[in-house]
């Protein structure tokens, strides 16, 4: 059986990397995060972007798959060059 978990992007990275590593150590096959603009109960607290969070999680984990449960269509600045 493969188990997955959701890790909300609410942790500054010095705390967040421990959360992602712990999920892998517990044997989760996949960990997801949300790409919402905010979450009701965390409205007045930090809410970090999903893509940077998953990028950082990829550097802290080795085997666990990573992904987003929801990816919001929201304004993002295009890269101009």
79 is a domain residue: no
9 is a domain residue: yes
| Helix spans in 4-78 (H) | 13-25, 50-60
pLDDT digits (tens, 9 = 90+) for 29-72: 999 998 876 677 777 888 888 889 999 999 999 999 999 987 77
By residue count, the chain amounts to 81
pLDDT confidence of residue 46: 86
How many domains are there within the chain? 1
DSSP strands (E only) in 1-81: 4-6, 30-35, 65-71
Phi, psi of 52 (to 5 degrees): -65, -35
81 is a domain residue: no
Domain that holds residue 20: 4-71
- Reply yes or no on whether the pLDDT at 1 is more than 80: yes
59 is a domain residue: yes
Burial of 48 (0-12, 13-18, 19+ CB in 10 A): middle
60 is a domain residue: yes
pLDDT confidence of residue 45: 84
């Amino acid at each position: 059986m493969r188990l997955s978990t959701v890790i909300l992007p609410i942790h500054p990275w010095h705390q967040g990397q421990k959360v992602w590593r712990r999920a892998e150590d517990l044997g989760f096959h996949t960990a997801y995060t949300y790409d919402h603009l905010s979450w009701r109960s965390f409205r007045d607290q930090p809410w970090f972007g999903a893509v940077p969070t998953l990028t950082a999680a990829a550097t802290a984990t080795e085997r666990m798959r990573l992904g987003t449960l929801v990816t919001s269509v929201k304004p993002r600045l295009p890269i101009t060059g």
